[in-house]
A and B are shown apart, each in its own frame.
Chain A
Amino acid sequence: MAYKHIGKDFTPHDVVAKVTGQAKYAEDFRAEGMVFCRLLLSPMPHGRVRNIDASEALKMEGVLGILTADDVPAIPAPNAPILTKEPMFVGEPILAVAAVDETTAQDAIEKIKVDIEPLPFTIDPLQSLFPGGPNARSDGNVGNVGIELQTLKWTAADFARAGEGKLPMGKAVEEWSYGDLDAAFAKAKIVYDETFVTASNSHHSMEPRSCMAYWQNGKCFVHASLQSHTYTIPQIAQYLGIDPQDVVLIAEYCGGGFGSKGSAYPSMAIPALMSKKLGRPVMMRISRAEEYFIGSARNGFQGRIRIGFGADGKVLGVDLFIVQDNAANNGFWDFRGAGEAVSLVYTPTAMRFRAVPVYTNLPSRTAQRGPGQNQMACIVEPLLDRAARELGIDRVEIRLRNAPVTGSPVGGERRPVTSAYVREALEKGAARFNWREKLRENGKRDGSKVIGVAVGQAYHPAGFFGFDGLVRITPDGKLHIHTGVGNLGTFSHSATARIAAEVLKVDWENCIVERGDSRRHLPWNIGQFGSNTSYTMSRTNYVAAMDALTKLKEIAARELGGSPDDYDVDGSRVFQKSNPSRGLGYGEAAQRAIDLGGRYSGHELPQDIHPITRASASALAGTGLIGVAKDTLPGGATAAFAVAFAKVEVDLETGQHRILEFLTVGDCGRVIHPMGLATQLKGGSVQGFGLACLEHIVYDPQNGLPANVGLYQAKPPTYLDVPAEMQWDAVDKPDPTSPLGTKGIGEPPMGAAAAALLCAISQALGGHVFNRTPVLPDMIINVAAGRSQSHKPLQVHTQ
């Protein structure tokens, strides 16, 4: 079928604003009488605030007020508080000071005397699980979303049994299994039992989470940096203790989030609450260093995997245990993503998954691109290569033999996935990369430099369902696609809007994407995270457009006779199939809809839509033909995959590497927007290179102090660390549950690229497996020089 929009490039409207500098981000806004606030951050990793003496500060000229934990709504533990009396990491906000300018606010902060009683702390989950070990929180050391906050200590025997350098495996708090694991391992030709560590790494979004807020006529206006929109409104309302209808959220552009701005976050509430107290607009600009404290990071793992392979390379059994570093608050459930990823990507015949998420005195964690899935790609993919080597199987072949297909089960619940084209991706990639040919270079040495050629793969769920769509055709003939999804920077807010344009056959010039500002009346959508937009919002825009289509045909039938089925649309007209000259322009139809009222004009709305959609649709009622619906289409467990191929040169004398060639192939369903897809595949890969070989959070265990609170220290890859040219491709096969076949892709390319790079380095080192990320030059030097590593196998947050 020939599409009008699907599979074609277009220029998203926000691109021009971004490259010309016209886009206004949170900190670019000003309001009459606006003042600034700054945060007083905890200097110690854990403590109890005994007293705050702000008298000197409040006497200073230009200082307007102070906000402490006593002034803000309490957030139920173990979620991160807005301001705290029990700081649980260095850099946690204790109070905020407002002043006429930021320098004055900071000067005032220096004058505030905070008396903090130091409490025991830890930056190592295993230390906390050891009998008598410190708890990061005074109310417990283990928990997560869906796992009760509790104190859990393993026994000394648990630790002793594991032995030196092996992960002890005491009581788990989450567990699932399927199949006969013992039988699987008994049948296996090779069984590895590996202990591993994956580092936490910061999101370091280019735009820090600055926020400006003010109150007007009972409503709170919030200018924020968020990758999601309507999804965050109830959360913001909860932070502020107001009704969601009273939040006006302006978040049109977002300078990167990578998961860390998917939901509302506590610091956003500070300017609004301060503004309420002062009666003036308040801007809180977050600095680069502060972003490392309150801006979030990926959860790190200390883990152990037992994995058994049959003689044919089939993964028979997996026994996975993950100790997750939650940091001080709940963080994300990366451990769950880890277990699911292993169960799906390698389709083991039997598997057990166990996990313990442990609190530590480190800055809050949230999901980061491929939370859990990408850590596992870094760990399991090199093991697959090791097995392939031992069994004499080609490394693409071993992946093909284990690859999931449509309907393969995921996780403990064994839900079948709606589509999986990993085989196709591997085959397409191998052909395009010239895998067989390139393999001849693998291991070739020239002086101190060795070539490594490798393949990697990764997975992430690719969409949700059950959200609302809202479109509107106005009497000027324009199609307005209202989307509440947010703008992470992926352009998928507009790419998925084109689904509505496709259904209603409207040229893109006649479409207006309404988004980024509550005053544009947006529907209830999930946030822009979890690689979901291309699936979830294709569905919502589809159902809303279908509703509009039905209404157009009904109006035409009323007006021109016959039944709605006699009508079709194209070129912004609804017309009789048998006599296309008989029809109505969309503008005329919209006017008729207004005249007709009721469900045509949005005065009558479906019962099942979310209150936020209802409010938006009601506000738009009477302005045109309203298409609005909840997505009740059949859905399922979606899955996106990426594979990556890399040729890398490793210098054994310096530990440095260069990526010489790179190709990534996505299984993202039908491609909606090739250019947008390319940026996701390549951008994700660049981030994957950082995950594999550069980025990590470093803490001094003795003092709980962070070593890298700046971009240059936290080391995202630079322009010179990535290949000048990166190739990409896509399987381009539709997902059967998505109306136009689309599904997400954002997260897997990162894991696939990280895995390919790590596997290539491992190849260059003769198959050495690190069981640790990131792999830094010093680690490569040590292997090449036959020296032991500086870090112990389970040590975390090391430099």
Chain B
Amino acid sequence: MSRDMMPHFELYQPDSLENALDLAKRLGRDGWIIAGGYDSLDWFKDRVKRPKALIDLGGIESLKGIRETPEGLEIGALTTLTEIERSPIVREKYGLLADAARRVASPQIRNAATLGGNLCQDARCWYYRYGVNCYRAGGNTCYADTPQGQNREHCLFGASRCVAVSPSDMGTAAVALDARMVVRNSSGERVIPAEEFFIGPAVDITRMTVLEPGDILTAVRFPAEWAGAKFYFEKVSDREAWDFALVSIASAMILENGVIRNVRMACGAVECVPRRLKVVEQTVTGSEPNEELAQLAGKTAVQGATPLNFNHFKIPLMENLVRRAIRAAA
């Protein structure tokens, strides 16, 4: 239950990634990495999550900035969403990212919220955020998936004792762009495809990503393959700002002579992870993006959707958004 009164904790402000990694290792589960704080601070204010110590990445310059590399684009985990939204290179070559960033939360939040924090944010299921002892919180029940549960914002796919959805708009865009997550810990670096970075409750119900205590996401790489592709991002929410997605769509398409040569598509807020629409991709590849294809793609996308009591509208909505992504390429 909301308490709005933060308890005391230790605050570490390392000035280098090495120091941060040392701290993360030493503190283990007692430590909490904080970037912009827009996901974390509510947890603390409500006293639901109570880390002993915070590791504030804000002072680590090497984690900030947007760089072009021979392989594509690399964005530091600490880069703010406003920076991404406004970056000329992002807008020119990876417009999808700028479009997604522009639809996150509100301008004030985007000024401080970081790419890394956005990708690593926790589930927004209101029951879980309220602090009930659900499966995700370590308990033995799900409050949302009940006959009377208020689950309008919950999932259509991949339910497994938890029906929360991926809240991250940047995550949806990252999956569509085949992004690579650069993760460091005290024993080294690993590079993880976005699709594998996000995990559902069937894999681990207490986490949204593969990150474990000690891990720090340092940067996200966007392969050159998709630079300048035909992009489509649309997020439907109750309000034009300051709202999580009811459903969102991100797609990247490469057309050749009016035919889809290569495509990646992901849908947000329908599953615990950004849902990559592989069958849709396969179905539309090699075809002309016309209305007929759009209809087929829409139908294909929602195949197997299992609605809860209050979210069956997400089926036509998802279908419509997939259609719009195809239509936009025409």
User: Do the two chains bind?
Assistant: yes
Residues of chain A touching chain B, judged by Cβ–Cβ distance below 8 Å, are: 38, 41, 43, 90-91, 102-103, 105-107, 110, 287-290, 292, 448, 653-656, 694, 698-703, 705-710, 712-713, 715, 717-721, 776-779, 781-782, 784-785, 787, 790-791, 798-799
Q: Which of A38, A292, A702, A799 contacts B151 (CB 8 A)?
A: A799
CB–CB A448/B146 < 8 A: no
Q: Tell me, rounded to whole Å, the shortest Cβ–Cβ distance linking A106 to chain B.
A: 4
Whether, in the assembled complex, B330 has its beta carbon less than 8 Å from a beta carbon of chain A, the answer is no
What are the residues of chain A within 8 A of B234 when measuring CB–CB?
Answer: 654
CB–CB A799/B152 < 8 A: yes
Whether, in the assembled complex, B19 has its beta carbon less than 8 Å from a beta carbon of chain A, the answer is no
Question: Can you give 6 A-B contacts (C-beta < 8 A)?
Answer: A91-B1, A290-B2, A694-B238, A705-B130, A777-B313, A782-B313
Chain B, 229-256, CB within 8 A of any chain A CB: 234, 236-243, 246
Chain B residue nearest to A656 (CB atoms) is B236
CB–CB A781/B243 < 8 A: no
CB–CB A654/B320 < 8 A: yes
CB–CB A700/B127 < 8 A: yes
Chain A residue nearest to B317 (CB atoms) is A781
CB–CB A718/B239 < 8 A: yes
Q: Tell me, rounded to whole Å, the shortest Cβ–Cβ distance linking B167 to chain A.
A: 12
Q: Which of A105, A703, A709 contacts B143 (CB 8 A)?
A: A703
CB–CB B311/A705 < 8 A: no
Q: Which of B2, B149, B150, B238 contacts A289 (CB 8 A)?
A: B2
Q: Which of B1, B6, B241, B324 contacts A103 (CB 8 A)?
A: B6
Whether, in the assembled complex, B132 has its beta carbon less than 8 Å from a beta carbon of chain A, the answer is yes
CB–CB B148/A702 < 8 A: yes
CB–CB A719/B316 < 8 A: no
What are the residues of chain B within 8 A of A699 when measuring CB–CB?
Answer: 150
Q: Which of B152, B241, B246 contacts A720 (CB 8 A)?
A: B241
CB–CB B1/A719 < 8 A: no
CB–CB B148/A700 < 8 A: yes
Q: Which of B153, B236, B243, B316 contacts A712 (CB 8 A)?
A: B243
What are the residues of chain A within 8 A of B311 when measuring CB–CB?
Answer: 778, 790
Whether, in the assembled complex, B7 has its beta carbon less than 8 Å from a beta carbon of chain A, the answer is yes
Q: Which of B2, B236, B237, B310 contacts A709 (CB 8 A)?
A: B2
Whether, in the assembled complex, B106 has its beta carbon less than 8 Å from a beta carbon of chain A, the answer is yes
CB–CB B127/A781 < 8 A: no
Which residue, A287, A654, A719, has most C-beta atoms of chain B within 10 A?
A654
User: Sorted from nearest, which 8 A-B pairs have the closest CB atoms?
Assistant: A289-B2, A287-B4, A720-B240, A653-B320, A778-B313, A799-B152, A785-B316, A106-B5
Whether, in the assembled complex, B49 has its beta carbon less than 8 Å from a beta carbon of chain A, the answer is no
What are the residues of chain A within 8 A of B240 when measuring CB–CB?
Answer: 718, 720-721
What are the residues of chain A within 8 A of B8 when measuring CB–CB?
Answer: 103
Whether, in the assembled complex, B52 has its beta carbon less than 8 Å from a beta carbon of chain A, the answer is no
Chain B, 43-82, CB within 8 A of any chain A CB: 46-47
Chain A residue nearest to B240 (CB atoms) is A720
Q: How far is A709 from B2 in the complex, measured between Cα atoms in Å?
A: 8
Chain B residue nearest to A700 (CB atoms) is B150
Whether, in the assembled complex, B29 has its beta carbon less than 8 Å from a beta carbon of chain A, the answer is no
Q: Mark each residue of chain B from 291 to 330: 1 if its CB lies under 8 Å from any CB of chain A, else 0.
A: 0000000000000000001111110110011011000000
Q: Which of A90, A292, A718, A798 contacts B106 (CB 8 A)?
A: A718
CB–CB A710/B2 < 8 A: yes
CB–CB B150/A798 < 8 A: yes
Q: Please report the total number of B residues contacting A with Cβ < 8 Å.
A: 45
Q: Which of B150, B316, B321 contacts A707 (CB 8 A)?
A: B150
CB–CB B149/A778 < 8 A: no
What are the residues of chain B within 8 A of A702 when measuring CB–CB?
Answer: 143, 146, 148-149
Q: How far is A214 from B124 in the complex, measured between Cα atoms in Å?
A: 42
What are the residues of chain A within 8 A of B238 when measuring CB–CB?
Answer: 694, 715, 776-777
CB–CB B2/A705 < 8 A: no
Whether, in the assembled complex, B3 has its beta carbon less than 8 Å from a beta carbon of chain A, the answer is yes
Chain A residue nearest to B244 (CB atoms) is A712
CB–CB A707/B1 < 8 A: no
CB–CB B152/A778 < 8 A: yes
What are the residues of chain A within 8 A of B239 when measuring CB–CB?
Answer: 694, 715, 717-718, 720-721
Q: Which of A289, A292, A707, A784 contacts B3 (CB 8 A)?
A: A289
Q: How far is A90 from B3 in the complex, measured between Cα atoms in Å?
A: 12
Whether, in the assembled complex, B12 has its beta carbon less than 8 Å from a beta carbon of chain A, the answer is no
Q: Mark each residue of chain B from 21 to 54: 1 if its CB lies under 8 Å from any CB of chain A, else 0.
A: 0000000000000000000000000110000000
What are the residues of chain B within 8 A of A790 when measuring CB–CB?
Answer: 152, 309-313
Q: Tell me, rounded to whole Å, the shortest Cβ–Cβ distance linking A87 to chain B.
A: 12
What are the residues of chain A within 8 A of B151 when measuring CB–CB?
Answer: 799
CB–CB B236/A777 < 8 A: yes
With A656-B236, A790-B312, A799-B150 given, is the CB distance from A705 to B317 under 8 Å? no
What are the residues of chain A within 8 A of B126 when measuring CB–CB?
Answer: 698, 707-708, 713
Chain A residue nearest to B5 (CB atoms) is A106
What are the residues of chain A within 8 A of B153 when measuring CB–CB?
Answer: 799
Q: Mark each residue of chain B from 198 to 241: 1 if its CB lies under 8 Å from any CB of chain A, else 0.
A: 00000000000000000000000000000000000010111111
CB–CB A448/B143 < 8 A: no
Q: How far is A369 from B45 in the complex, measured between Cα atoms in Å?
A: 31
Chain B residue nearest to A783 (CB atoms) is B313
With A707-B126, A799-B310 given, is the CB distance from A718 to B242 under 8 Å? yes
With A700-B150, A778-B313 given, is the CB distance from A287 to B5 under 8 Å? yes
Q: Tell me, rounded to whole Å, the shortest Cβ–Cβ distance linking A450 to chain B.
A: 14
Q: How far is A791 from B152 in the complex, measured between Cα atoms in Å?
A: 10
Q: How far is A713 from B312 in the complex, measured between Cα atoms in Å?
A: 20
Q: Tell me, rounded to whole Å, the shortest Cβ–Cβ distance linking A469 to chain B.
A: 42
Q: How far is A90 from B130 in the complex, measured between Cα atoms in Å?
A: 12
Q: How far is A721 from B242 in the complex, measured between Cα atoms in Å?
A: 11
Q: How far is A503 from B244 in the complex, measured between Cα atoms in Å?
A: 55
With A653-B320, A655-B313 given, is the CB distance from A288 to B4 under 8 Å? yes
**Apart from A781-B320, A790-B310: 20 A-B pairs, beta carbons within 8 A:** A91-B1, A105-B5, A110-B47, A653-B321, A653-B323, A694-B239, A700-B143, A705-B132, A712-B242, A712-B243, A715-B238, A718-B240, A718-B241, A718-B242, A719-B241, A776-B238, A781-B313, A781-B317, A790-B311, A799-B151
What are the residues of chain B within 8 A of A719 when measuring CB–CB?
Answer: 241
CB–CB B7/A106 < 8 A: yes
Q: How far is A110 from B5 in the complex, measured between Cα atoms in Å?
A: 12
Q: Which of A91, A654, A698 contacts B236 (CB 8 A)?
A: A654
Q: How far is A703 from B131 in the complex, measured between Cα atoms in Å?
A: 13
Q: Tell me, rounded to whole Å, the shortest Cβ–Cβ distance linking A430 to chain B.
A: 29
CB–CB B324/A653 < 8 A: yes
Chain B, 97-138, CB within 8 A of any chain A CB: 106, 126-127, 130, 132
What are the residues of chain A within 8 A of B149 when measuring CB–CB?
Answer: 700, 702
What are the residues of chain A within 8 A of B313 when measuring CB–CB?
Answer: 655, 777-779, 781-782, 785, 787, 790
Q: Tell me, rounded to whole Å, the shortest Cβ–Cβ distance linking A637 to chain B.
A: 39
Q: Tell me, rounded to whole Å, the shortest Cβ–Cβ distance linking A708 to chain B.
A: 8
Q: How far is A713 from B1 in the complex, measured between Cα atoms in Å?
A: 14
Q: Tell me, rounded to whole Å, the shortest Cβ–Cβ distance linking A38 to chain B.
A: 7
Q: Tell me, rounded to whole Å, the shortest Cβ–Cβ distance linking A696 to chain B.
A: 10
What are the residues of chain B within 8 A of A656 when measuring CB–CB?
Answer: 236
Chain B residue nearest to A719 (CB atoms) is B241
Q: Which of B3, B148, B242 contacts A106 (CB 8 A)?
A: B3
Q: How far is A353 from B2 in the complex, measured between Cα atoms in Å?
A: 40
CB–CB B246/A778 < 8 A: yes
CB–CB B127/A43 < 8 A: no
Q: Which of A103, A710, A712, A721 contacts B5 (CB 8 A)?
A: A103
CB–CB B310/A798 < 8 A: yes
What are the residues of chain A within 8 A of B323 when measuring CB–CB?
Answer: 653
Which residue, A776, A778, A787, has most C-beta atoms of chain B within 10 A?
A778
CB–CB B316/A787 < 8 A: yes
Chain A residue nearest to B126 (CB atoms) is A707
What are the residues of chain A within 8 A of B143 when measuring CB–CB?
Answer: 700, 702-703, 705
Chain A residue nearest to B320 (CB atoms) is A653
With A103-B7, A106-B7, A778-B313 given, is the CB distance from A41 to B236 under 8 Å? no
